[in-house]
Chains A and B, each alone.
Chain A
Amino acid sequence: NAGVTQTPKFRILKIGQSMTLQCAQDMNHNYMYWYRQDPGMGLKLIYYSVGAGITDKGEVPNGYNVSRSTTEDFPLRLELAAPSQTSVYFCASEGAGGYGYTFGSGTRLTVV
């Protein structure tokens, strides 16, 4: 029972580079979320999706893009990495039946 799987676990990017953070869940959850957590701060919502083909912005969407072509996958794209995007990124999913997110183990991204 994998739950929510995030890859990679760690990544160092140079300013201006692009990358995709992968997130996959095997629980057939409709709702998926991308958060970032900066040191000493809470979780900030970047983007979310209520189902395949539907995405929407959260609190801090600038500099990111997402897609949701399948129920299982919800990748997060950074097009032009900036030092301000240095953070730990968490993906989460939730079933339609109720609250309670299942989180992945996170991706620690450093932009230098």
Chain B
Amino acid sequence: DQQVKQNSPSLSVQEGRISILNCDYTNSMFDYFLWYKKYPAEGPTFLISISSIKDKNEDGRFTVFLNKSAKHLSLHIVPSQPGDSAVYFCAASSFHNRKLIWGLGTSLAVNP
């Protein structure tokens, strides 16, 4: 039972355009959501997070939107750059259980 779902295994966009990566969750107890980025042969690195008390968090080119009623979050990258090509993981946790629950990842390719 996948509590955090990233339904698109891969995404390809042109450099300079917007990349939108989606994530759905089923557990209404989740109150903290994170995005990690992973390059081949490296560990995941933290990218951006959002608490359930917010619906948007922005950090430079990266913005995460949270729709609690739909149990959906998305990561927007604007403008996309070739260096953004990586696998992006969505993860969620709850206040009472710090262990992160991970999606399967979306592989983003940004083409020059």
By a beta-carbon cutoff of 8 Å, the part of chain A in contact with chain B is 4, 31, 33, 40-43, 45, 48, 58, 90, 92, 94, 99-106
A31, A33, A43, most chain B CB atoms within 10 A: A43
What are 21 A-B interface contacts by the 8 Å CB criterion? A31-B98, A33-B99, A40-B9, A40-B104, A41-B104, A42-B89, A42-B105, A43-B44, A43-B89, A45-B99, A90-B43, A90-B44, A99-B34, A100-B46, A100-B49, A101-B36, A101-B46, A103-B45, A105-B43, A106-B41, A106-B43
A103 touches B34 (CB 8 A): no
Please encode chain B, from 68 to 102, with 1 for each CB lying within 8 Å of some chain A CB and 0 for all others: 00000000000000000000010001000011101
Contact across chains for A42 and B99 when beta carbons are under 8 A apart: no
- Assess whether A105 is in contact with B99, with CB atoms less than 8 Å apart: no
Contact B104 A105 (CB under 8 A): no
Residue numbers in A under 8 Å from B9 (CB-CB)? 40
Q: Which residues of A contact B36 (CB under 8 A)?
A: 101
Q: Is B65 an interface residue (CB 8 A)?
A: no
Task: Contact check, A100 vs B41: say whether CB atoms are below 8 A apart.
Answer: no
Majority SS at the chain B contact face: strand
Specify the chain A residue showing the minimal Cβ separation from B44: A103
Residue of A nearest to B33 (CB): A99
Q: How far, in whole Å, are A53 and B45 apart by their CA atoms in the complex?
A: 27
A104–B45 Cα distance when bound, in Å, is 9
- Chain A residues with Cβ under 8 A from B102's Cβ? 42-43
Query: Quick one: closest B residue to A90, CB to CB?
Result: B43
